[in-house]
Structure 1
């Protein structure tokens, strides 16, 4: 949790300390890095984990080694595409584009390190390496903010980020090479070795995950494409604060009570799961209201100097907080649906809300700027919650132990 918060603090700190236009550019780059780091991995770990959990360590290690060929193929065709997007969409120089590519690869390797360590505890040092990278980024950001605030620039941040990422990636590769086991013979059909076979095996997982990522990121991509950089900077300053709160919720609330809610929905009743969710939502809502009240109070006590200095709009922040709260409620409903094997319904609900939201985002952003973006995001979140609640209500009539496929 500490390293996740450190990474989030690094992002928030840089977006707030950079000039407003550079902040918009940095926020867009962070979004693109996350999107392509996900795409590089192709969600291949899900299929490998379910096939090989509990298998011999050497067989698991060989399967991960085989995955590297898939990643290399992905790099070959995705990196040029990413570079074109960076040069034409993000509007950065070729030098900065190379730095961003290094960071994106490192982020994907870090994701792999975490997924590998979940199955094989022998690789806990991989997570330690990723955590050290994020903590070092946080320390570096603090040093830059307090020691060299006048020299702070997008180029300097990306140089530092790429340098630390490169060292961390080499560290992860070294640990993997030292600890992985090489089997003499593999059990037939346990691991999928062919690159295209691996692509096909994880295709559904990839598109499901991609949709989930786009649902959360599409507003940022839309803002980056359709509004001036100074307006994008204002939007990213707000959205990173909300993302920080949302990430804290995921770690401190959602992940903590997820096993209990899943068991209640699966073994007892939907009503029992909903009661547990309501208790958790009251706590989350109280924390959000307290945070918003603190921001309003600080703005009042400083005679609006606080919001003027950091380009914070209380009304825009309020809309985004409501969106975050609605998404949190919807996320809890997906737990109930997943407990009753309703993954396809969740995917359909996401697809419908994403499709409607994309049309609204484009239209509202073009006509009303970043307030239009926030409003369209709110409508999309309400639609997703409504669809999930309707699906959960249908489960009240489904007996325990019966799952619709």
Structure 2
């Protein structure tokens, strides 16, 4: 049977592919160091586990509303008010099966065939695929390393056409970890308002910010921008809950209702037990979250300095998330390999070091390294990377 055109055009996730290959090598007994996974290496905090157990013991295992438990929506609304002074009614919030599902549902309800979405590059691997699945067209804006991989208002203005429906802002970013400042967001927001664009503000790494920098949401800059923004977030990265699959979106009531209607036919509802766990995540103190962030920041500083010792490698220092996105173009050009993808593949074969090629993120010259692993693993990874670079220089 021939498959539908919409799935035949999909590009498999490069992050999941490299993680799968690394796991297969480990299963064969190889000593693999994996810097490919985009998830915290910490277990979910115990108070969240306890809340899930309590929910099970109390029989809270039935269907919930398609758009999520009212109690969880209220907690999410309270979180917006507490963290960003944003007010959302419960009918402006939807709970989804992970932030990825929130993005998928959003594109499904806002895009018609041929509608365009501006996607700054480098980008998270699923953005263009989800847009294409909604019969939309991703329009890539190539950002510059010299500008910390940030899209400028001039670039956004140039990318807008009569078919442009939305623009994606991911801050902090996957894969670069860069963070847009308030002034930078204001300038982009002016362009969005001028052209009546919906801003898709992916804030899943909001809690993972280091140093003196602070997270700013496009939605908190003005009432106008709030009306033109759908915020995407979740507990996966902030609370080490990737497998629990709880995300959410907040924004225009009509859009949120359409997403809820879609979810009612697609997933019925997010897992009930995971929703009660998420309530605990957002109503408990953030000591565990802060502790994890401190560990990530220490790893960032350490790994970044180690990478700078590798000749011909350059790297923008990120402000958030848990990725480094170094440029290895000169290293690869001076090696016998024809592409960064081939170089990464051979690195895994020879050194059993798994990193992700930047091609999957729209950046052919870079690779993504996740520092969501121990300092010992990061030290060993750096040794293997340096040895491989020296061998083929």
Question: What TM bracket, shorter-length normalisation?
Answer: under 0.3
Greater Rg by CA:
1
Task: Using structure 2 for the length normalisation, give the TM-score.
Answer: 0.25
Higher share in strand: 2
Task: Using structure 1 for the length normalisation, give the TM-score.
Answer: 0.24
Higher share in helix: 1
